[in-house]
Amino acid sequence: MKLLLFLFLLLPSSITAQISLSDVQSEKTVIERLAKRYSNIKDTNELSLELKKELSILDNKSSIILTNVFTANFTADIKDELNSTSDSLFKEALQQTKQANRADLELWTTTQYAFYLYTYRKYEASFPFFIFSIRNLDRIDTTLIISPCETYKKIGFFLMTVGDYETANNYLLAAKKYVSQNSSELASILNNLGMVNLKTKKLAIAEKYFNETIAVATASKDQLTYAKALGNIAEIKLAQKKHNEAIKLLNSDILISKKLDNTKNTIYAMVLLGKVYLAQGNISKANELLHEAETYAQSKTYLKSSDYEISSLILQIAKQTGNTKEELSSRRNLEALKETLAEMDGQDVIGKVRWAMEKQKLQFGIEDEKAKRERETFAKVIALISCFLLLVVIFFVVKRFRTKIIIEKTEYDEKISKLSLDKETSEQKLIINHQTLQSYKTFLIEKNEQIKELEDEIAKIKQTSSAYSDNYQGKIQELLNSHLMDSESWTAFKTSFIQSYPQYYQHLTKNFIGLTDSHLRIIFLSKLEMSNIEIARILGLTLDAVKKAKHRLRKKYSEDYASLFG
């Protein structure tokens, strides 16, 4: 399976390598100088001369590794596609870092290779390498991290793509700590922090970041990031239905992106502008612009997902205008693209990587806990051995007691892991099924069963006297609380419900003045044929509280109460 490819990289042996701090500092300085000059290098000859001059102060092994990585990236930039030369150089560099037992260089090289695969939309192939970087960033001394800003930023970009916005935000903020003021690097980070908030519907915060991006990009003369920020603000304006403002911003974005010959951002802005025109009802302009964007997308082998999105919009227009020839052509193109996207950056691939990421994070937690227990056990054994001759009897009694605690703790932790995984699985199924009302109904049924299991587990704990039972009960209670319907999950459920029962919702809002969200929660769940006790579990209420709430509704809306629950 591709997701398991190279997971042997997760082995922590090289993390403990003894590394000279002076060597690390020299390499850091060299890499930073090369990175600053990199964008101005015109050809491979100039790159070779630059590398030879800069790497002369380093040892031979480090020089070879850095040469391979910079050459691999430069080759990919020139060819603007995945290529066998870059792939071979990256793999050779990774092998050399392992042979040199250099944790710092291995981390940097792995991140570079991961980002190369990610840039050209090989998300599934890049996943194990990003996982390696994420895992070992937590293990390595921060003073040994080479190019920390770049490393944190690239991981943050990947996490954004797979939808882990909270963690992506943390990595981008970590990268921001290492960046210079009014630099192009800062502009890029601010822009992506805005994107994280845009994706999570925090529009005011997102727009604040985008405005900061524009200021920094202007100061650093970074025209591309400036253009991207304009396009991102336009997306906010589209969401606010301020179409004319969005059009003005996107026209500026497209003009700059074309001038800079940046295909990806040109396509992004064109597609978004097409969507604005569609929202305005300007079909002809949207159609013309999308066909132009399609030409750009088909010029690059790694822009198939953009091509797919464009073809989907063109198909929508063709169906709307009755253009059967265009409709047939778009359908054929979409079918042809599906197979390619299954290997690159299609939604199925992104969903698979997101699910694998969640499982890996859970595994990290289990491994950390296991390692912690092993360290604790080792320390205890050493202490016991030191007084073995004097305390033989006590040693065996204590050992037996501690073994019992460890076994109980392990059993409890495994139970916690299982229950957490059940929760994650249900949530992932809901996401994969696009949060339809039917999938919500299944999700809520499963959640009820999981809450009941947690309640039963708490009841069992209260009857035991295990040394770890209090801690375990706290974790179980915390997990149970996480199952309850909070404001975020309520908003998503409410949206799905309204989409499925629009007329019923209009009936409620029109005929039952004064209904609160608390009322709607009970009404909607009842509409899904959930019992009072099931509703109580989901909302974290007592059965009596649900009954009293329904009684108050019956009393308040006595005449129309029967129609209140559909």
- The pLDDT tens digits along the chain (566 residues) read 444 444 434 444 444 344 566 667 778 888 888 888 887 888 888 888 888 888 888 888 888 999 999 999 999 989 988 899 999 999 999 999 999 888 889 999 999 999 999 888 888 888 889 999 998 888 888 888 888 999 999 999 999 888 899 999 999 999 999 998 889 999 999 999 999 999 999 999 999 999 999 999 999 999 999 999 999 999 999 999 999 999 999 999 999 999 999 988 898 989 888 899 989 989 888 888 888 878 887 777 667 677 777 888 877 887 888 888 777 777 777 676 666 655 555 455 556 566 566 666 555 555 444 444 554 455 556 766 767 677 777 877 677 767 766 776 777 677 777 777 777 777 777 777 666 778 778 878 888 888 888 778 777 777 776 666 677 777 777 776 777 778 888 888 888 888 888 888 888 888 888 888 888 888 888 888 888 888 888 888 888 988 888 888 888 887 677 677 76
Under a CB-based contact definition with an 8 Å cutoff, are residues 209 and 236 in contact? no
Instruction: Tell me: do 495 and 477 sit in the same domain.
Output: no
Asked, for residue 254, whether it belongs to a domain, the answer is no
Last residue of a domain, one of 455, 483, 511: 483
The CA distance from 149 to 171, in Å, is 9
The CA distance from 300 to 303, in Å, is 6
Last residue of a domain, one of 146, 165, 200: 146
Instruction: Tell me: do 452 and 402 sit in the same domain.
Output: yes
Q: Give the long-range contacts of residues 1-8, CB within 8 A, separation 24 or more.
A: 2/124, 2/125, 3/124, 3/127, 3/128, 3/352, 3/353, 3/356, 4/128, 5/125, 5/128, 6/128, 6/129, 6/132, 7/128, 7/131
Q: How many helices (H) and strands (E) does the chain have?
A: 26, 0
Instruction: Tell me: do 8 and 142 sit in the same domain.
Output: yes
Instruction: Give the angle 100-106-111 at the CA atoms, nearest 5°.
Output: 160
| Structural domain of 543 | 489-564
Instruction: Tell me: do 1 and 47 sit in the same domain.
Output: yes
Instruction: Tell me: do 396 and 499 sit in the same domain.
Output: no
Burial of residue 115 (CB within 10 Å: 0-12, 13-18, 19+) is buried
Burial of residue 136 (CB within 10 Å: 0-12, 13-18, 19+) is buried
Under a CB-based contact definition with an 8 Å cutoff, are residues 267 and 230 in contact? no
Under a CB-based contact definition with an 8 Å cutoff, are residues 39 and 78 in contact? no
Last residue of a domain, one of 146, 179, 204: 146
Instruction: Tell me: do 411 and 534 sit in the same domain.
Output: no
Which has the closest alpha carbon to 219: 182, 181, 189? 182
Instruction: Tell me: do 109 and 1 sit in the same domain.
Output: yes
